[in-house]
Amino acid sequence: MAVKLFQSQTSMFCEKIRIVFALKNVPYEIVDVRKDDRKSLIEYTGQRKVPSMNYDGECVIDSTVIAARLEKDHPENSIYPDGAANKGLCLALEDWSDEVLIHANHAMRRAETPEARKKAEEEWDVYFNTLDQIYSGKKFIFDRMTIADAAIFSQLHYLYATVKYEIPVKYKNVNAFMENMRQTLKLKSLADSFEAQSL
Ligand SMILES: N[C@@H](CCC(=O)N[C@@H](CS)C(=O)NCC(=O)O)C(=O)O
């Protein structure tokens, strides 16, 4: 079986998927789309977004769809919690992270005036406050790492490592979650991006 991940190292959605590959210990080849300015990605998928996957000849686009596709064939170390109610909640949190936190990341990255920066910080404060409650007394949202944790980690990690914005210390549970993920993913530092190693 040949599996290729079209990706870029700095994309948070690609890091999310590298975590899924690692959890499931599925071997894959990386195609760095920056090397040919996305030419081979566009040729294969007909669009520009990463992550995209060639799964033994099957074209799969979007991190949420890729994660679900990998889970289907590799159910070991499930990325979803047990039970339909928890699975629904997990999918909703994955979607919230992918669709809402990404905009807060873009706003912080693009903030060029003090006003824009203040607005972006206020937006993040709302989400840190939510996350600090979600991770209160918990290493992971459910009883093990799921795709919701991986999605949230990838957004917060991008904020820290690429946007260079540190999570305020008052959000103790969010900071504890990041440290727990750093250890679980065996990262020397949160400045490093998660590579293709198995866990
Ligand atoms: N919802 C998508 C978002 C993917 C996405 O926005 N990828 C960005 C990189 S972080 C991209 O490839 N953008 C290139 C473009 O839009 O031209 C997912 O979960 O995979």
Residue 81 CA neighbour count, 13 Å, CB half: 21
- 39 CB near ligand 1 (under 6 Å): no
Q: How far is Cα of residue 80 from the mean position of the Cα atoms in its chain?
A: 14
Is 196 a residue whose pLDDT tops 90? no
Is the CB–ligand 1 distance for residue 48 below 6 Å?
Answer: yes
Quote the CA–CA distance of 107 and 157 in Å, as a whole number: 15
- Write down how long the chain is: 199
- Which residue ranges make up each domain of the chain? 3-73, 84-184
Cis omega (within 30 of 0) on the bond before 75?
Answer: no
Ligand 1 pocket: which of 15, 49, 93 to mutate (most atoms within 8 A of CB): 49
What's the topology of domain 84-184?
A: Glutathione S-transferase Yfyf (Class Pi); Chain A, domain 2 (1.20.1050)
Q: Give yes or no for residue 15 CB within 6 A of ligand 1.
A: no
For the segment(s) 3-73, the CATH number from 3.40.47.10, 3.40.30.10, 3.50.30.30, 3.20.20.370 is 3.40.30.10
Check residue 121 and give its pLDDT.
98
Do the Cβ atoms of 144 and 138 come closer than 8 Å? no
pLDDT in tens, 133-160: 999 999 999 999 999 999 999 999 999 9
Task: Give the pLDDT band of residue 65 (cuts 50, 70, 90).
Answer: very high
What pLDDT band is residue 197 in, cutting at 50, 70 and 90?
confident
Question: How many C-beta neighbours within 10 Å does residue 68 have?
Answer: 17
* pLDDT at residue 50 tops 80: yes
Strand order, beta sheet including 29-32: 29-32, 3-7, 52-55, 58-61
Decide whether 3-73 matches 84-184 in CATH topology.
Answer: no
How many other C-beta atoms can be found within 10 angstroms of the C-beta atom of residue 70? 22
